[in-house]
Amino acid sequence: MSSDSKNGDSALEQQQTISLEELPLSQLQNVKNQLESEISELTEAFTRMKQAQGAFRECKNCIEMLTPESQDKTIMVPLSNSLYVPGKISNIDSVVVDVGTGYYVEKSTTDGISYYDGKIEYVQGNLKKIQETMEQKQTSYRGLLEVMQYKITQQQQQQQQPTSAKQTA
């Protein structure tokens, strides 16, 4: 295993950094398109994570609303998005938690709250990582746009110079 990590480390060390100024405008356009795609994907991932975090918070809040006054209370149980049946809260001490891929686990209300707290914290950590990566990509994107604008201006000036020389001759 250690030889694999050494190979991975040496591969990282062998990567070369190429200055944006050295690339032609066509390659800069390709890099720009790639950065735009990555920023878009990160934005979508950030949105999905925020939605998941909201769902976990809602689950936690629902568990917290199970109070002794809730015992034997009549509620509407959803069978689908638009179909409900009447039901009664028979046990306020335990909940059934969806742990993913079609598996459900019965937990105490305290454990259910702890479970969702952990999920919320995990998603928050991922949101922070995505946000940091997005900021880095956006900074790179802005720098790339500056280099592209400089190169375009340079090309325009070079094209105008022969025209100016012909006019003076």
Cβ proximity of 63 and 113 under 8 Å = yes
Cα 83 to Cα 33: distance, rounded to the nearest angstrom: 46
Kindly report which listed range (18-22, 64-68, 80-84, 132-136) carries the lowest average pLDDT score. 18-22
What's 40-74 look like in SS3? HHHHHHHHHHHHHHHHHHHHHHHHHCCCHHHCCCE
Structure-block tokens of residue 78: 């959803």
Q: What is the pTM of this model?
A: 0.75
Cα dist from 29 to 133, 145, 154, whole Å: 21, 9, 16
Check residue 15 and give its pLDDT: 56
Q: Model confidence over 27-47: pLDDT tens digits?
A: 999 999 999 999 999 999 999
Check residue 23 and give its pLDDT: 85
Check residue 168 and give its pLDDT: 55
What's 89-135 look like in SS3? CCCCCEEEEEEECCEEEEEEHHHHHHHHHHHHHHHHHHHHHHHHHHH
User: 9 pLDDT exceeds 60?
Assistant: no
Structure-block tokens of residue 47: 């949105």
Q: What is the mean pLDDT of the chain?
A: 88
Angle at 77 between CA 71 and CA 83, to 5 degrees: 160
| Percent of the chain at pLDDT exceeding 70 | 86
Phi, psi of 77 (to 5 degrees): -100, 120
**Residue 68: what residue type?**
P
Give mean pLDDT, residues 117-138: 98
Give the dihedral of Cα atoms 42, 45, 46, 47; nearest 10 deg. Answer: 130
Structure-block tokens of residue 165: 């020389």
Q: Which residue has the higher pLDDT, 5 or 68?
A: 68
State the chain's maximal CA–CA distance in angstroms.
99
Check residue 59 and give its pLDDT: 97
**For domain 32-66+93-141, which CATH number applies: 3.90.1150.140, 1.10.3720.10, 1.10.287.370, 1.10.10.10?**
1.10.287.370
